[in-house]
Chain A
């Protein structure tokens, strides 16, 4: 065990932590923005709206993230001329853009299925009451259904965000320097494989359980009215 190499590479690993956090945060936010309309489309009674979303979710949940990452990063090269004509090639050339795009689409598919469960779990009495007050369409979703659905879905969504944080380690395979990417470079040069990878594992453990702690705090806040303590205070 070579402690020196761990101490020596800590600053570079912390740089990797920043990249991992950045990629995860961006994909979570963009994925959330996509997932909310997708989940509403997913419960539509119109099959022309529902089925495309069903297909999208089925494909992205049924294939490995690694394949999706390669399809977007390497696969886009097959259509280089088309993308160049549309002025999109400078985006698809960048590993960073492709990583964010595939993680966003992946988490959008998983999250929209989670939110769909939430929407279906909203009690019909609340929706009837809102309709009786004259709310419909967008207002009904904004004021009644989505807030209730997101509360129901929150614990499952926490899991999804944790999975995304861990899945972001795959971006190291397409040359990005996140925690895993930095670790692979250091380990390959120094042959200190287990020292570096155990350190990296500990960093991920801290990140994951830190994230879970934050999400639990938020859960206590948004679901606080359901806890037994709220009655006594």
Chain B
């Protein structure tokens, strides 16, 4: 049953691209999440509202719809807008960039809540102590808040990563040759849909297991300076 007829390497190649998309999207997720959580925690009402609107809207729309909107909708929107100014050009977006950006911005909304909770979990005394040592707000953020926040953020970020890597399968819809897309190609030539998709699912499962182990290691490392009750 497990004869992939030489298409195993194609699936592995797809798996590598899936990981690449996942890692790039996760970097965007972390950056967007950090920025937007700082907006939510800031004293400026406008920034709070923008971040609030971003998380509310993104979490209410399916990933697939957003991917289709960005990949097919954004270029036509730009073309139509440029047409108004008399510029007639054809725009298309690279599926890797469209997919990575969309997934990154979607999960940035989820990471926002993770980071917000993590920043609030850092004891107030730490900030007061930093202030009394004469550190300004930027310095306090960089030296005190940011390093201590990670311990609280890692479990939540791990969950976001698990959902994110599975969501990358949706990019196959816009023809990026990642794991799912390559499994489709293998199915067309081998006529063994169950075997190929099952093999693909095992690669996703392997990524999940490795991620779980990494998360455990990272959690242990991030809290190595903390005394444990048990």
Chain A residues close to B by CB (< 8 Å):
1, 58-59, 62-68, 70-71, 74-79, 166-167, 169-170, 172-173, 180, 183-184, 187, 191-194, 197-198, 200-201, 204-205, 208-209
Contacts and interface: CB of A to CB of B under 8 A. Distances in A.
Q: Which of B57, B66, B195, B197 has the most CB of A within 10 A?
A: B197
Interface in B59-106: 59-66, 68-69, 72-74, 76-77, 80
Contact of A166 (B63, B197, B201): B63
Interface string B190-215: 00111101101100110011000000
Interface stretch (B27-35, B135-143, B165-173): B165-173
A192 to B, nearest CB: 8
Nearest to A194: B73
Given A64-B169, A78-B194, A209 B201 contact: no
Contact of A201 (B65, B80, B194, B195): B65
Given A70-B197, A77-B194, A201-B65, 8 more contacts: A63-B205, A65-B166, A66-B172, A70-B180, A71-B198, A78-B195, A79-B194, A184-B68
B79 to A, nearest CB: 10
A63 B163 CA distance: 10
B160 interface: no
A172 B62 CA distance: 12
Contacts of A58: 205
Nearest to A170: B64
B122 interface: no
A135 B32 CA distance: 53
A93 to B, nearest CB: 14
Closest 6 CB pairs of A and B: A194-B73, A75-B194, A64-B169, A74-B193, A62-B208, A197-B69
A68 B74 CA distance: 30
Given A1-B80, A64-B169, A187-B72, A197 B65 contact: yes
B105 to A, nearest CB: 13
Contact of A204 (B60, B187, B209): B60
Contacts of B69: 193-194, 197-198, 201
A208 B60 contact: yes
A201 B61 contact: yes
A94 B69 CA distance: 28
Contact of B180 (A1, A66, A204): A66
Contact of B194 (A76, A166, A205): A76
A67 B72 contact: no
A63 B80 contact: no
B193 A75 contact: yes
Contacts of B73: 193-194, 197-198
Contacts of B64: 169-170, 172-173, 180
Nearest to A197: B69
A63 B200 CA distance: 9
A205 B204 contact: no
B194 A63 contact: no
A230 B16 CA distance: 55
A58 B73 CA distance: 36
B197 A64 contact: no
Contacts of A59: 201, 205
Nearest to A65: B166
A70 B170 contact: no
B56 to A, nearest CB: 8
B65 A62 contact: no
B198 A166 contact: no
Contacts of A62: 204-205, 208-209
Contacts of A78: 192-195
A181 B11 CA distance: 28
Contact of B204 (A64, A74, A183): A64
Nearest to B169: A64
Nearest to A173: B173
30 contacts: A63-B208, A64-B167, A64-B169, A64-B204, A65-B166, A67-B183, A67-B197, A70-B180, A70-B183, A70-B197, A71-B193, A71-B194, A71-B198, A74-B193, A74-B197, A75-B197, A77-B194, A78-B194, A166-B61, A180-B68, A193-B68, A194-B73, A194-B74, A194-B77, A198-B69, A198-B73, A201-B69, A204-B62, A208-B60, A209-B60
